[in-house]
Amino acid sequence: MTARPGPARVYCRRLAGLLVLDPNGDQVGRVHDVIVTLRLGHEPPRVLGLAVEVQRRPIFVPISRVTGVESGAVVLSSARLSWRRFAQRPNETRVLAELLDRRVTLVLPGADSSAPAGREVTVVDAAIEPTRSGDWILDQVAVRVGRGRRGEVRTVSWDEVTGFSLPEEGQGAANLLAAFEKLRPADLASLLHHLSSKRRAEVAAALDDERLADVLEELPEDEQVELLGGLAAERAADVLEAMGPDDAADLLGELPTDEAEQLLRLMQPEEAAPVRRLLVYADDTAGGMMTSEPVVLAPNATVAEALARVRAPELSPALAAQVYVVRPPYETPTGRYLGLAHFQRLLREPPSTLVGGVIDVDITPLRPDTPLPEVTRHLASYNLVAAPVLDDAGRLVGVVTVDDVLDHLLPSDWRERQLTSDVLVGGTPGVMSAPPAGDPDPGGRGEVGSAPAAT
């Protein structure tokens, strides 16, 4: 890439999550990280390229393809990229994932840098810029002097700090999370999946309970268990309380019985009760798949109230598709189930209409012991995205949604397959790796196709 006139230095935290556009302005993906290679002595790291998330797949984009950062997006010179999944090589370092929050030493003026006398600081950002030769280097580091957010932040040159090559203990994750604070849970889960186990634990420790709960629901089961097991028991119980009862039950079902029981005892009784009820049912039945927190209303509630309830942003589209009308009590297990009201029907009615007058009573509810194949046929037969589940007393105990069914129909490792390709090929430009037979891209990061539109 040829350096452009004017200021071209870019701070890596500014790049985090930015859109990546091809020359036509079409979206390719979002920046996942900046990839550099550390060099001997005090030479600043050379920038190799960007890890870009495309449809939850990280790919490598050479820095030579980047023409600039304009209007809040990274612009590429070509849409032809390698769609092989990016895998980090031993000589490569991820700036955001591995350098941010690192405790390093700021060399004091006049000190011998080979055995520096300095003070410990925390890395909060790093800046990259092009050189006259067209390469890019990481030439500056922003550090916080003192612990806590109130410490003074200084920007220093790369050779004024030492300690990047040493293994880091207790690195923390505050600045990494600040860089990605606007990511959706699924995208943050993808970021965590590609970190080391140690770094994942540091990030999990820094997330608040609600955010961690949302992220856990998007991770493969083995990583959920790993992260939950790395938390103190009281914190793990708090995170389980923040999860939906069905997701918490699924996660507890992966733990040894004594560990699961210990966590249930640490949870608030009102939070643990619905989880315990769900754990009674077999995993491949309606009871084992259902959520116990659907939108429940009294028959004298109005259409306006129903629409206000389904507008709640925390509801999934499947749960917001219909409301369930019951006699009191209105928490599951409810009073006698009366019927359900579809969202589309609610939109066609005057706001003052009572939901008890627009319910559908023709759809046969499921029983908790209904097996998965029958649940699937039921949803398909009635063109439903969710179905009520009743106990023998005719009380609503939960709702099975189509995403719950898909989660059970897909292979058990489908989340991991989505996050990890069968073929992992890394490679710094110019470094060859052995390709599969007939591989048109032997370097692993060459041009093999145009960018598909990102979703």
> pLDDT tier at 68 (50, 70, 90 boundaries)?
confident
Q: Which amino acid is at 431?
A: V
Tell me phi and psi for residue 444, to 5 degrees. Answer: 85, -15
Please say if the pLDDT value at position 444 is more than 70: no
Distance CA 371, CA 401 (A): 14
Is the sign of the CA dihedral 354, 356, 362, 363 positive or negative? positive
Distance CA 453, CA 412 (A): 28
pLDDT tens for each residue of 85-99: 888 888 899 999 999
Q: What confidence score (pLDDT) does residue 370 get?
A: 97
Q: What confidence score (pLDDT) does residue 438 get?
A: 37
Q: What confidence score (pLDDT) does residue 436 get?
A: 35
Q: Which residue has the tokens 């870019």?
A: 10
Instruction: At 182, list the tokens.
Output: 């606007």
Q: Helix or strand or coil: residue 321?
A: coil
Taking each helix axis as running N to C, give the angle between helix 269-279 and helix 233-242, from 0 to 180 degrees, rounded to the nearest 10.
80
Q: What confidence score (pLDDT) does residue 143 get?
A: 93
DSSP string, 62-115: EGGGEEEEETTEEEES-SEE--SPP---TT-EEIIIIITT-EEEEEPTT--TTS
Q: What confidence score (pLDDT) does residue 259 get?
A: 95
Instruction: At 430, list the tokens.
Output: 């110019």
> pLDDT tier at 1 (50, 70, 90 boundaries)?
very low
Residues 195 and 203 sit within 8 Å (Cβ to Cβ): yes
Closest by CA position to 290, among listed 454, 215, 401, 437:
401
My answer on whether omega of the bond before 333 falls inside 30° of 0, hence cis, is yes
End-to-end Cα separation, the chain, in angstroms: 28
H or E stretch at 307: helix 303-310
> pLDDT tier at 74 (50, 70, 90 boundaries)?
very high
Distance CA 164, CA 104 (A): 7
Please say if the pLDDT value at position 342 is more than 60: yes
Distance CA 432, CA 444 (A): 8
Report domain extents, the chain.
Answer: 1-182, 183-280, 296-409
Distance CA 15, CA 179 (A): 9
Least confident of 151-160, 181-190, 231-240, 242-251: 181-190
Q: Give CA separation, 18 vs 34, 52, 72, 75, 411, in Å.
A: 12, 9, 7, 10, 32
Residues 281 and 389 sit within 8 Å (Cβ to Cβ): no
pLDDT tens for each residue of 81-130: 888 888 888 889 999 999 999 888 998 765 554 444 578 899 999 999 99
Question: CB under 8 Å to 420, separation ≥6 — which residues?
Answer: 85, 193
DSSP at 356? G
Least confident of 70-79, 203-212, 415-424: 415-424
Q: Helix or strand or coil: residue 416?
A: helix
Distance CA 236, CA 241 (A): 9
Closest by CA position to 296, among listed 276, 274, 280:
274
Q: Give CA separation, 351 vs 138, 218, 305, 307, in Å.
A: 59, 36, 8, 9
Q: What is the CATH number that goes with domain 296-409?
A: 3.10.580.10
* CATH topology (fold) of 183-280: MgtE N-terminal fold (1.25.60)
Q: Helix or strand or coil: residue 261?
A: helix
Name the average pLDDT for the chain. 85
Least confident of 113-117, 204-208, 222-226, 319-323: 113-117
Distance CA 165, CA 91 (A): 11
pTM over 0.85: no
Question: CB under 8 Å to 333, separation ≥6 — which residues?
Answer: 277, 391, 393, 395, 396, 397
> pLDDT tier at 432 (50, 70, 90 boundaries)?
very low
Residues 327 and 335 sit within 8 Å (Cβ to Cβ): yes
Closest by CA position to 245, among listed 453, 37, 402, 397:
397
H or E stretch at 198: helix 197-206
For the residues 76-80, what does the mean pLDDT come to?
Answer: 88
Closest by CA position to 218, among listed 189, 195, 179:
189
For the residues 431-439, what does the mean pLDDT come to?
Answer: 34
H or E stretch at 375: helix 372-381
Q: What angle do CA 196, 197, 202 make, to 5 degrees?
A: 95
User: Which one is predicted more confidently, 412 or 6?
Assistant: 412
Q: What confidence score (pLDDT) does residue 419 get?
A: 56
